[in-house]
Amino acid sequence: MEQNYNTEQPEGGVPIKMWTRGVPVEDEAKQQLANAARLPIVFKHIAAMPDVHLGIGATVGSVIPTLRAIIPAAVGVDIGCGMMACKT
């Protein structure tokens, strides 16, 4: 089965799965994603959606799963943005 995303692997970080084929992504947003991918609390990978763009604190249009941590700045302020936690 063909993947519908590209994977970028920043040095020292988790993979970034990018659902952005055919969509231009700002260099600043890519750098922000790479910086987040290097955080020791990020779990498995980061996901970037087609609307990904530079944000304040974290990239808008991204999903940053964490383990034993919460990053309040990673939540956008527009409609539909939010956080979910589950006990494991």
Q: pLDDT digits over 68-79, tens only?
A: 998 888 876 666
Burial of 80 (0-12, 13-18, 19+ CB in 10 A): exposed
Handedness of CA 5, 39, 36, 27 (dihedral sign): negative
Q: pLDDT digits over 9-52, tens only?
A: 999 999 999 999 999 999 999 999 999 999 999 999 999 999 99
Quick one: tokens of 36? 């987040």
User: What pTM did the predictor assign?
Assistant: 0.86
Beta-sheet strands, E only, within the chain: 6-8, 16-18, 46-53, 60-63
